[in-house]
């Protein structure tokens, strides 16, 4: 389910980092921007938002992450229950 528009290797690295974060913080939930900013380890370059989105879609397709809508209409992501 990984779109060819993003580097597949990078998407898998991001997906792995998100999974590790959720293992350490199982009650965490955040939107795409928050995940990009706070959940992913800082490196020399930030990951493109589209790659983070594709990693979340990949994890969701595997039943590891789920989406929630909050009061502001923003989509939140969390560990699937």
pLDDT tens for residues 28-80? 999 999 999 899 876 556 788 999 999 999 999 999 999 998 788 889 999 99
The alpha carbon of residue 54 and the mean position of all alpha carbons in its chain are separated, in whole angstroms, by: 8
Spatial contact of 47 and 4, defined as CB atoms under 8 Å apart = no
Q: In whole angstroms, how large is the CA radius of gyration of the chain?
A: 12
At 6 the pLDDT is 59
Number of domains in the chain: 1
**CB distance 3 to 12 below 8 Å:** no
Print the domain residue range for 73. 8-79
Residue 3 within a domain: no
Predicted model pTM: 0.84
CATH number (domain holding residue 53): 1.10.10.10
């Amino acid at each position: 389910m990984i779109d060819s528009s993003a580097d597949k290797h990078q998407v898998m690295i991001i997906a792995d980092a998100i999974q590790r974060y959720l293992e350490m913080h199982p009650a965490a939930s955040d939107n795409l921007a928050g995940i990009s900013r706070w959940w992913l380890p800082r490196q020399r370059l930030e990951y493109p938002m589209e790659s983070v989105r594709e990693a979340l879609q990949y994890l969701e397709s595997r039943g590891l992450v789920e989406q929630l809508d909050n009061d502001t209409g923003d989509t939140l992501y969390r560990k699937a229950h």
